[in-house]
Amino acid sequence: MGHIHEECGVFGIYTKEPRDVATDVYYGLFALQHRGQESAGIVVCDDGVFSVYKDVGLVNDVFDEKAMKMLGQGTMAVGHVRYGTTGTDGRLNAQPIVVNHIKGRMALAHNGNLTNSAVLREKLELSGDIFHTTSDTEVISYITTEKRLAAPSVEAAINQAMYELEGAYSLVFMSPTKLIAVRDPHGFRPLCYGSLPGGEGYVIASESCALDAVGAKFERDILPGEILVFDKSGIRSIRNHCGEEPRSMCVFEYIYFARPDSKIDGCSVHEARIRAGQFLAEEHPVDADVVIGVPDSGLDAALGYSMRSGIPYNIGFIKNKYIGRTFIAPGQSSREDQVRKKLNPIASVVEGKRVVLVDDSIVRGTTCARIVKLLREAGAVEVHMRVSAPPFINPCYYGTDIDSHEHLVAYSHTIDEIAKIIDVDSLGYISVENTKKIAATEGCTGFCTACFDGKYPTETRYASKKNRFEEKISANHYGGGSSEQ
């Protein structure tokens, strides 16, 4: 536990006739809220006129009745929920980004993390571009706008821009007449589309659960490297960049980020987590009385562990749904106080029992130690920790908020040392080899596991810290790549 911060979520809708597309996007973003809780935004297009509203906060806080009325009706809209991996939080970096230029307006929502944004930004600044945010999403918008000056269409400009972008990006673009979905050639982050009932239009979303939220039928995932264009002519696929790179879907999408009711690249997230738990039971068996999971992303893996081991599964914690995610707390001590407010053990389940505790990850170890302490206070006689991800030992440059080794307990401690730190009787992680098998299907065969094994799919020499554009003058803030949602 002590969780990694999420990705962002993107959503787009194209309809043949004007309708209340803002409400559709609202429900779509609500389904993607788990991917980002810092800010939310919606841009609606009504016959080429863009209406924009975005602010810090959760979806249902940002979009009150007044905001929704202001957005009005239209035929297209783009939405975004943000947890930033380049740039700090706040309204400044809220998305979607809207750009006005000589070839027309453009809105852009981005999930991912460019590894070469610092190099691109420096190039743009030296040519006279002025940046208003600290996110690499603005870098993408500028590169695309630059290409648009000579390109015959916005999709052609995006196609050209992709030759310069490195790293992870799942994008939704909106021009006055087109909605466009883009996925990087590695396919690091998920992106799919569906159709509305009665042929009314189409929806693009980070996860299939958001299609369900608006009654759209899942059609397929956007291919790695694909540009998919929705306009009055129908749907067009541009695949110049498909097959350029080996597929490298972030395996942590299946372990933690995505909602269990989503399906990504042909694989059910719920089933992937069940398999992770089953692998854990095979790799790290133990004599115990009950298996419990840490809500929410540890529950499916705990069920899988129980299924394979034969040890009964039970609900060990009640989660207070009205407490914000623990990483929102400003300091570690405050974060630990939040744990008790958020999770409460069911004493009758664990008292006098040897407990297998399953969670999706251990990052710092401090939050996990607090959870173990809660179990022991509730009467657990043994606590055996099982983790459905391998040890985090490397930074991630593709969209998660691990930009250095500094806070990774597994980087500087052995498994036995971590077990002592979090006060468990035994500790077992799933192997990297089996992690790659949890979501192996015909449509999803390649994964990025760099945070576990250091095998990065792209060049990372320019990548650097999340908040490097906000570092103090005394810091060396301008020496490498970037990040963002």
Catalytic residues: 8
Computed over its alpha carbons, how large is the radius of gyration of the chain? 22
Nearest to 385 by CA among 476, 477, 258, 294: 294
What is the per-residue DSSP string for 9-30?
EEEEEEEEEEE-HHHHHHHHHH
**Sheet strands (E) in 115-272:** 167-174, 179-183, 192-195, 201-205, 217-221, 227-231, 234-238, 249-250, 263-264, 267-268
Query: 255: which DSSP letter?
Result: I
C-alpha 331/C-alpha 172 separation (Å) is 34
Q: Are 356 and 333 in contact (CB under 8 A)?
A: no
Terminal alpha carbon distance of the chain:
22
Q: Are 54 and 95 in contact (CB under 8 A)?
A: yes
Residue matched to tokens 């924009």? 52
C-alpha 417/C-alpha 412 separation (Å) is 9
C-alpha 425/C-alpha 175 separation (Å) is 57
Residue type, 202: Y
Q: Are 336 and 273 in contact (CB under 8 A)?
A: no
Query: What are 294's two structure tokens?
Result: 């840490």
Q: Which helix (H) or strand (E) holds 157?
A: helix 154-161
Backbone angles phi, psi at 74, to 5 degrees: -175, -175
User: SS3 for 408?
Assistant: coil
C-alpha 411/C-alpha 452 separation (Å) is 10
CA atoms within 13 A on the CB side of 466: 19
**C-alpha dihedral sign at 470, 471, 476, 479:** negative
